[in-house]
Amino acid sequence: MTRLRSLRNKVAILFFLITATAFAAIYFIVVPQLEQNLQDGRVANLEAEAKAAKPVLEALVLGEVKTKELERTVRAVADSTDARVTFLDWDDSPTGPQYKLLNLKFFASFDSAEEKKYPRNPSLTREALRTRRQQRGFQFYKGREIGQVVQPLLLEGEPVNAVIYTLDLEDVAATVDFVRNRVLIAFGAALAIALLGGWLVAGRLARRVRRVERGAAEVARGRFIDPLPVDSVDELGQLTRTFNQMQAQLRRVDVARKEFIATASHELRTPIFSLGGFVELLQDEELDEDTRREFLDTMAEQVARLQKLSVDLLDLSRLDAGSVELHPEPVDLAELARSIAGEFRPALADHGTDLSVELPDEGPEARCDRERVAQIMRILLDNALRHTPQGTYVTVTANRENGAAQLTVADSGPGLPAEAGSKVFERFYTGDAARGAGLGLAIARELAERMEGRLVLRADNGTTRFTLVLPAAGPYA
- CATH code for the domain in which residue 73 is found: 3.30.450.20
CATH number, residue 338: 3.30.565.10
For 378-402, letters b (16+ CB in 10 Å) and e give ebbbbbbbebbeeebebbbbbbbee
- The whole-angstrom distance between residue 461's C-alpha and the CA centroid of its chain comes to 52
pLDDT grade for 97, boundaries at 50, 70 and 90 = very low
The percent of residues above 90 in pLDDT, for the chain, comes to 7
Q: Are residues 301 and 330 in the same domain?
A: no
Three-class SS of residue 137? strand
CB of 139 within 8 A of CB of 122?
Answer: no
Residues of the domain holding 398: 325-471
287-318 per-position pLDDT tens digit: 777 887 887 888 887 787 777 777 777 777 77
- Residue 379 falls inside a structural domain: yes
Query: Of 432, 435, 352, nearest to 392 (Cα)?
Result: 352
- Residue 202 falls inside a structural domain: no
pLDDT grade for 15, boundaries at 50, 70 and 90 = confident
Average pLDDT, the chain: 79
- Residue 448 falls inside a structural domain: yes
Q: CA–CA separation, 90 vs 162, rounded Å?
A: 9
Count of domains observed in the chain:
3
Greatest Cα pair distance, the chain, in angstroms, is: 161
What is the per-residue pLDDT for 368?
92
Residue 7 Cα distances to 11, 14, 275, angstroms = 6, 10, 63
Q: Are residues 291 and 346 in the same domain?
A: no
Phi, psi of 472 (to 5 degrees): -75, 155
Region of residue 164 (phi > 0: left; psi between -120 and 50: alpha; otherwise: beta): beta
Q: Are residues 373 and 461 in the same domain?
A: yes
Average pLDDT of the segment spanning 342-361: 82
- Residue 278 falls inside a structural domain: yes
Q: CA–CA separation, 73 vs 48, rounded Å?
A: 18
- Where does residue 252 rank: exposed (0-12), middle (13-18), buried (19+ CB within 10 A)? exposed
187-207 per-position pLDDT tens digit: 888 888 877 877 777 777 778
Q: CA–CA separation, 351 vs 353, rounded Å?
A: 5
CB atoms within 10 A of CB 356: 12
- In a 13 Å sphere around the CA of 269, the CA atoms on its Cβ side amount to 6
